[in-house]
Chain A
Amino acid sequence: MSEHNTSDVGVEGGTVEPNGDVALPDHHPRRTDFDPRAAKRAERQVTFLFGLSALFTVLFVVAYVQIPTDAVLPIPFAGTWSASNAALGVTFGLAAFFIGAGVMQWAKKLMSDKEVVAMRHSLASPQESREEAISEFMDGVDDSGFATRRVLRRSLLGAMALFPIPLIVILRDLGPLPGDSLFITNWVPGMRVVLDVTGAPIRPSDIPVGGIVSAMPANLPEIQHRDGNLNARAKDVVLLVRINPDEIRSQQGGTPEEPWDYEGVLCFSKICTHVGCPIALYEQRTHHLLCPCHQSTFDLADSGNVVFGPAARELPQLPIRLDAEGYIVARDSFQQPVGPSFWERG
C-alpha cells in the first residue's frame, strides 16, 4: 500500500540497520570526487573515447565508399581477407565499442557512486484504483449483455472452442509414415556400380590396392527430383575399396563360390550407421573408415565392424560381382537397412 512505501534513501557507511546488521562498508570518495584536476582529466578521457567512436563512424562511411568489394588484404599468418568486409567490420565494431567504453568511464569516474538503499515496495495498486477497475469491467459486462444474451454467448464460446482445430489438423503434415522406404535402396541384383559425379562404370583393375572410390547405382542420375532423387542419394551412395585379400579378416557374407568381394574389392554403404553422415575418411594403412561427424570408426577389413565411436552397428556391405563386360555390379541388394538406426529396425 502506498502509505507503507518509503522512498529510497542514501545511507552513511557503517550505518546499523534496525535488525542490527551493519548495512554497508565505509564509503571511500574517489580521487575525482575531491580533486578538480582529476575530474577534469576524467572528462577529457571520456571526451576522447567518444571522439574516437565518431572518428571510426566516419571511417566506416569512408571505407564503404572508397574500398572496392573485390579488394583483398593479405594479413601475415591470418590469410587473405576481403579488404571491404574487414574494414567495415573493424570500424563499425570499434565505433560501437568506444561509445560503450566512454559511457563506462563516465559512470565510473564522474557519476555519483554514493551507496543507496532501494526499499522494497508493494507491487499492488491502491485499493481505490482496483475498485474502480473492477466496477468499469462489470459495467462493460452489463453493457455487452454477456450474461443475458445466452445465444450470443454460446455461439462465441463454440467458435472459440473450434478455433484450435486447424492447429491439430496441420499435424497431418508430419506424415505420411515412411513405410518400407528405409529398408530398400536402388541396389538390385545386377545394378552397375558407377563413379559418383561422372557416372562411368568401374572395372576392378581401375582400383589399385589402397584405393578408394565413391560410387552410386547406375540409375541414380535418372531418378527425378519428384521421385525422391535426394532421398535416393542419401541412401544409395557406396564406397569401393581394394584391400590385399590376405589382409581381409572377415566379411558380412558370401561363400567360396559366391563371394561378396571381388579379389579384394569390397563395397560398403557410405552412410554412417550412427546418424547418417556420409563417411569416406579412409586410412588405407589401417583399413579404418572414419566418420567426420562423431569419429565412429569402422574396420573395413573386418566386416565393417565398429572399432571406435558412437555407431552401434556395422557398416552394411553390398555383395558385388562382375557382369559379362567385366564391370562391377551388385550381386544382391543390401542385406540390412543402410544408414542410422530407426524404431522398426530395432
Chain B
Amino acid sequence: MPLAAPGAQAPQKPVIYNDVEIAALAAFVASLGPGPQIPTDEEINYQDADLAQGGELFRTNCSQCHNFTGEGGALSNGAYAPNLMNATPRQIYEAMLTGPENMPVFSNETLTPENKRAIIKYIQHMDEQPDYGGWGIGSLGPVTEGLFIWVVGIGLMIGAAVWIGARVR
C-alpha cells in the first residue's frame, strides 16, 4: 500500500509508512466501515496450538494454493499465491480473516481462532524444518523441477560429454 501498479498481483514491497502511520491509516479506514479487528497478541499466541490438527487443516484448506509446505504456487492470469515462509503469525491470521486479493475468506466460525492458531503453528513448523534434500529450488513442483533438470542437469551432462569427446592437442 499504496498499490505500485494495477495488475493481476500486488506483490510485497518495501514498507514506506512507520507503525504509527499505519495504525492511523487503519483507524481512519475502520471509521468508514466495520471490518475485522487487528488480532491481539493473545489471539495469535500459537505456542499451545495443536500442530497435528494444524497440518490437517492446512492440507485441507490452504495447500491447494500455497503448496503442502507453504511455498506458494501459481493461480490464473499471472496471479499467484505467495510463499508463506516469511509471513508473520499476525499477517497469516489477518489474511485468513480478510482474504486479501483473490484469497477466500476463512471466517472464525468455519476456522475457529483455535484452528487458525494451529495452522499458524504448522506454517511456523514448516519454516523451521531443514531441507533434507538439499536445495529445494522453491519446492514449486514437478514442472519447475523438470525444467531445472532438463536445462541445468542435462546441460551439465552435455558439457561433460563434449569434454570427453574433445580432441586433445
Interface residues in chain A, defined as those with a beta carbon under 8 Å from any beta carbon in chain B: 28, 30-32, 72-73, 75, 78-83, 85-86, 89, 104, 108-109, 113, 195-198, 202-203, 205-214, 241, 278-286, 288, 290, 292, 295, 297, 308
B residues within 8 A CB of A195? 110
A residues within 8 A CB of B163? 104
Closest-CB distance, B48 to chain A (whole angstroms): 18
Check B42 for interface membership: any CB of A closer than 8 A. no
B residues within 8 A CB of A285? 101-102
Contact indicator A72/B130 (Cβ below 8 Å): yes
**Per DSSP, are chain B's interface residues mostly helix, strand or loop, or mixed?**
loop
Across the interface, B60 reaches (CB within 8 A) one of A85, A206, A214, namely: A214
Closest-CB distance, B69 to chain A (whole angstroms): 11
**Per DSSP, are chain A's interface residues mostly helix, strand or loop, or mixed?**
mixed
Q: Known interface pairs A30-B168, A281-B65. Does A203 touch B76 (Cβ–Cβ under 8 Å)?
A: no
Contact indicator A286/B102 (Cβ below 8 Å): yes
Residues of B in contact (CB 8 Å), total 36
Contact indicator A82/B168 (Cβ below 8 Å): no
* Cα–Cα, bound, A292→B168 (Å): 51
Contact indicator B110/A279 (Cβ below 8 Å): no
Across the interface, B99 reaches (CB within 8 A) one of A210, A292, A297, namely: A210
Contact indicator A80/B131 (Cβ below 8 Å): yes
Check B103 for interface membership: any CB of A closer than 8 A. yes
In the complex, the 9 A-B pairs of residues with the closest C-beta atoms, listed nearest first: A206-B109, A212-B104, A283-B102, A211-B105, A280-B64, A72-B130, A82-B130, A284-B104, A82-B132
5 A–B pairs (Cβ distance < 8 Å), ordered by A: A31-B169, A104-B163, A108-B164, A211-B106, A281-B65
A residues within 8 A CB of B168? 30, 32, 108-109, 113
B residues within 8 A CB of A82? 130-132
Q: Known interface pairs A196-B60, A308-B76. Does A79 touch B131 (Cβ–Cβ under 8 Å)?
A: yes
B residues within 8 A CB of A109? 168
* Cα–Cα, bound, A214→B103 (Å): 14
Contact indicator A290/B105 (Cβ below 8 Å): no
Check B33 for interface membership: any CB of A closer than 8 A. no
* Cα–Cα, bound, A324→B109 (Å): 19
A residues within 8 A CB of B135? 75, 78-79, 81
Closest-CB distance, B110 to chain A (whole angstroms): 5
Contact indicator B169/A290 (Cβ below 8 Å): no
Closest-CB distance, B67 to chain A (whole angstroms): 9
Check B124 for interface membership: any CB of A closer than 8 A. no
* Cα–Cα, bound, A207→B109 (Å): 8
Contact indicator B104/A282 (Cβ below 8 Å): yes
Contact indicator A281/B75 (Cβ below 8 Å): yes
Check B53 for interface membership: any CB of A closer than 8 A. yes
Having A281-B65, A297-B76, one finds 19 other A-B pairs with CB under 8 Å, namely A78-B135, A78-B136, A83-B130, A104-B163, A202-B110, A206-B107, A207-B107, A207-B110, A208-B105, A209-B105, A211-B99, A211-B106, A241-B104, A279-B64, A281-B64, A281-B81, A282-B104, A283-B76, A285-B102
B residues within 8 A CB of A197? 53, 56-57, 60
B residues within 8 A CB of A210? 99, 104-105
Contact indicator B131/A81 (Cβ below 8 Å): yes
Check B134 for interface membership: any CB of A closer than 8 A. yes
Closest-CB distance, B141 to chain A (whole angstroms): 9
B residues within 8 A CB of A206? 107, 109-110
**CB closest residue in chain A, given B56:** A197
Contact indicator B130/A81 (Cβ below 8 Å): yes
Q: Known interface pairs A82-B131, A290-B76. Does A205 touch B102 (Cβ–Cβ under 8 Å)?
A: no
